[in-house]
């Protein structure tokens, strides 16, 4: 029996005795994208391919099983879908003749990067390449399978952020590994929480290496950018890239971990840089760490920290601030400044102090005189008795005092507000001052401020602007609001291009796929159908094919066909045939009953043809009566 028969193609664990996987929800009736390898495909007479895990403009990754090593692994297939396509009859790739040179160049870089990584066997914090071979007119890389979760999911399950002490322990080994990779001439260009795996031993491993062109704009490959982590120079193919590109990305990852907020997208920062310092978002972050991250994430590459070694030196060897803040109310020792005699001799004479003393004495006498005059006035008021004019004057005086007091309070409150606004101009605070959210991602703002406002979102579409970025807000920044009343906040958000690609629904349940459509602002209607493709609750098909586009600006509606029951074509055919036979039988019986009812008593009855030819008709063996 083939090994693939007893393996689940979704997780490569053994199937149960009932032929069902008890580790995941994968079933063999889940369809796969025809452009990619089908489950149970055998590569190099050794590796059994399972379901596809991910794909980008460079190629696709599949879970697979090594029949020789008897272990799980990951297969990476070089398949740039803009340059080639797969034959329907075989697994071979057919290259577009006009793109042959690009195809070969990128494939050579793909193989070189992975060969270099496979030779660096001393790197424990990188997903290692185990095997490289050519087949189907392309190149495959077999990577080790790492048990764990992505850093993105890890943060979601750990309150969204970590402390600096935790980050130091986690990232020190990864920094060393990244520095060694740079020394070997490899730039990752895709460092993000999605490409960092947290293993079951709570260690970090870097994965997701790709050719440089797939993470650079306008290169002929479909670009793969990570919003908030991709460096500014990657959005322009004419800009230089280098170690400082990965410095930006790794600093952005640390920014995300420490603050709990995704950094502002670099594409937006190039036009209007409104990224707050990390310490402004989370005051618990040390000031020197916040300053280093700001320098590592500068928009211009030449102004940025250039190497990982320099970044590590400034992060971990940063000098402590010389200013020491003492807690309020505690006893403090004030150091006395000793001035040398020569320096004291050079100081100016202390004669102006006498003048200051004389001036203070004059002011004191004036104040004393005013106090005496005020006392005499009060005595006069006390013994002279009240009058109308005095009452009027007295009431006016009271009003003036209130106004003066109110103005002082307003000035104090205004100063306090300005001071508070300077430290709360971020979306992570929960005070009663409206932060400036223009230029930030709507998803982040909604997550962190959604419980304080009733949000109303209006989308506009522009293919030249990144999607999901807030353009306008109805409540002005630095103004008061009451979170308990949940005031209405209207946001104008860019939806990106009005033409949105229909996402793949392979293996997705109704709930997951509809949530995905909501994030893409695609309107939809759901239709329940009997399906011979997928089980109940999974997506059977859509009115617009996967990969095609729909105009969300015009409000085009996508029909989503959801399986309510899994049936086979044979069952449907048998059911239809049974239904037709039942209808035919009922019609025959009705005609027979009608014939018997209409026959006259004086006319000899004609013989009936029995329903069952084995049973004789009425009259036994009598023949047909001849007319007399």
- The token pair at 373 is 């005059």
CA 256 to chain centre: 12
Q: Which helix (H) or strand (E) holds 407?
A: helix 388-423
Please tell me if the domain spanning 442-494 has the same topology as the one spanning 500-570: yes
- Residue with structure tokens 């990864």? 174
- Given a cut of 90, whether residue 403 has pLDDT beyond it is no
3-state secondary structure at position 542? strand
What are the structural domain ranges in the chain? Answer: 3-144, 148-316, 442-494, 500-570
d(CA 546, CA 506) in angstroms, rounded, equals 10
- Given a cut of 80, whether residue 193 has pLDDT beyond it is yes
pLDDT tens-place string over residues 361-387 = 677 777 777 777 776 766 655 555 444
Residue predicted with more confidence, 350 or 300 = 300
Please choose, from the candidates 56, 42, 107, 51, the residue with its C-alpha nearest in 3D space to the C-alpha of residue 78: 107
Residue predicted with more confidence, 351 or 396 = 351
3-state secondary structure at position 512? helix
Question: Quick one: fold of 3-144?
Answer: Phosphorylase Kinase; domain 1 (3.30.200)
- The token pair at 572 is 């449907």
- Model pLDDT, residue 616: 44
- Mean per-residue pLDDT, 577-602: 51
How many CB atoms lie under 10 A from the CB of residue 401?
Answer: 10
Contact 437, 264 (CB under 8 A): no
- Model pLDDT, residue 604: 44
pLDDT tens-place string over residues 84-95 = 999 888 899 999
How deeply is 246 buried, as exposed, middle or buried, from its count of CB atoms within 10 A (0-12, 13-18, 19+)? Answer: buried
pLDDT tens-place string over residues 20-59 = 888 888 888 888 888 899 999 999 999 999 999 999 999 9
3-state secondary structure at position 113? helix
- Given a cut of 70, whether residue 618 has pLDDT beyond it is no
Segment among 33-47, 130-144, 354-368, 447-461 with least mean pLDDT:
354-368
Contacts of residue 53, defined as CB under 8 A and 6 or more positions apart, other chains included, come to 61, 62, 63, 74
Contact 58, 102 (CB under 8 A): no
Q: In what order do the strands lie in the sheet with 488-494?
A: 454-460, 488-494, 470-473
500-570 to CATH, choices 3.30.1330.10, 3.40.50.10790, 3.30.10.20, 3.40.190.10: 3.30.10.20
Please choose, from the candidates 109, 128, 248, 113, the residue with its C-alpha nearest in 3D space to the C-alpha of residue 186: 113
Q: Is the pTM of this model over 0.85?
A: no
- Model pLDDT, residue 369: 77
Contact 213, 220 (CB under 8 A): yes
- Model pLDDT, residue 179: 93
- Mean per-residue pLDDT, 585-611: 49
d(CA 71, CA 13) in angstroms, rounded, equals 10
d(CA 385, CA 389) in angstroms, rounded, equals 11
- Given a cut of 90, whether residue 310 has pLDDT beyond it is yes
Contact 473, 490 (CB under 8 A): yes
Tell me the CATH number for domain 442-494.
3.30.10
Strands 196-199, 93-95: pairing kind: unpaired
148-316 to CATH, choices 3.30.750.24, 1.10.510.10, 3.30.43.10, 1.10.630.10: 1.10.510.10
Q: What percent of the chain has pLDDT over 70?
A: 73
């Amino acid at each position: 029996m083939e090994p693939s028969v007893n393996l689940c193609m979704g997780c490569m664990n053994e199937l149960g005795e009932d032929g069902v996987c008890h580790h995941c929800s994968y079933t063999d009736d889940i369809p796969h994208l025809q452009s990619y390898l089908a489950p149970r495909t055998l590569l190099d007479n050794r590796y059994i391919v399972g379901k596809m895990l991910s794909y980008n403009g460079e190629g696709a990754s599949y879970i697979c099983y090594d029949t020789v090593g008897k272990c799980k692994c990951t297969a990476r297939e070089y398949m740039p879908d803009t340059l080639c396509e797969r034959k329907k009859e075989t697994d071979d790739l057919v290259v577009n003749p006009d793109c042959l040179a690009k195809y070969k160049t990128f494939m050579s870089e793909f193989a070189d990067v992975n060969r270099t990584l496979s030779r660096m066997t001393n790197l424990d914090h990188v997903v290692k390449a185990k095997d490289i071979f050519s087949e189907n007119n392309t190149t495959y890389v077999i990577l080790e399978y790492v048990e764990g979760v992505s850093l993105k999911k890890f943060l979601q399950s750990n309150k969204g952020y970590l402390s600096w002490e935790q980050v130091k322990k986690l990232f020190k080994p990864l920094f060393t590994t990244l520095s060694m990779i740079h020394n070997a001439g490899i730039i990752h260009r895709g460092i993000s929480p999605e490409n960092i795996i947290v293993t079951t031993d709570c260690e970090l491993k870097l994965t997701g290496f790709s050719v440089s062109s797939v993470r650079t704009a306008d290169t002929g490959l479909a670009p793969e950018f990570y919003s908030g982590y991709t460096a500014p120079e990657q959005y322009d193919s004419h800009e230089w890239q280098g170690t400082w590109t990965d410095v930006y990305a790794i600093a952005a990852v640390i920014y995300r971990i420490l603050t709990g907020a995704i950094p502002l997208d670099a594409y937006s920062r190039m036009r209007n840089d409104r990224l707050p310092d990390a310490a402004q978002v989370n005051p618990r972050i040390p000031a020197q760490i916040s300053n280093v991250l700001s320098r590592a994430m500068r928009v211009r590459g030449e102004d940025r920290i250039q190497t990982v070694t320099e970044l590590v030196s400034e992060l971990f060897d940063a000098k402590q601030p010389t200013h020491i803040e003492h807690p309020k109310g505690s006893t403090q020792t004030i150091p006395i400044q000793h001035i040398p005699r020569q320096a004291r001799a050079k100081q100016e004479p202390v004669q102006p102090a006498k003048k200051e003393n004389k001036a203070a004495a004059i002011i004191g006498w004036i104040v004393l005189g005013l106090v005496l005059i005020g006392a005499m006035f009060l005595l006069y008021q006390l013994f002279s008795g009240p009058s109308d004019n005095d009452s009027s004057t007295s009431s006016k005086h009271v009003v003036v005092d209130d106004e003066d007091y109110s103005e002082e309070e307003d000035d104090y409150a205004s100063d306090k507000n300005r001071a508070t606004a300077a430290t709360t101009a971020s979306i992570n605070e929960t005070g009663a001052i409206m932060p400036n959210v223009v230029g930030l991602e709507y998803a982040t703002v909604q997550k962190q401020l959604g419980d304080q406002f009733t949000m109303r979102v209006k989308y506009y579409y522009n293919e030249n602007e990144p999607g999901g970025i807030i353009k306008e807000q109805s409540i002005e920044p630095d103004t008061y609001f009451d979170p308990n009343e949940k005031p209405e906040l209207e946001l104008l958000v860019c939806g990106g291009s009005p033409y949105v690609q229909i996402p793949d629904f392979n293996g997705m349940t109704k709930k997951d796929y509809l949530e995905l459509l909501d994030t893409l602002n695609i309107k939809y209607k759901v239709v329940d159908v009997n399906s011979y493709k997928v089980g109940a609750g999974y997506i059977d098909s859509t009115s617009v094919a996967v990969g095609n586009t729909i105009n969300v600006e015009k409000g085009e509606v996508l029909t989503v066909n959801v399986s309510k029951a899994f049936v086979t074509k044979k069952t449907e055919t048998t059911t239809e045939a049974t239904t037709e036979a039942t209808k035919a039988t009922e019609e025959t019986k009705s005609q027979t009953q009608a014939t018997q009812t209409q026959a006259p008593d004086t006319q000899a009855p004609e013989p009936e043809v029995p329903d069952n030819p084995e049973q004789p008709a009425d009259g036994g063996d009598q023949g047909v009566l001849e007319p007399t």
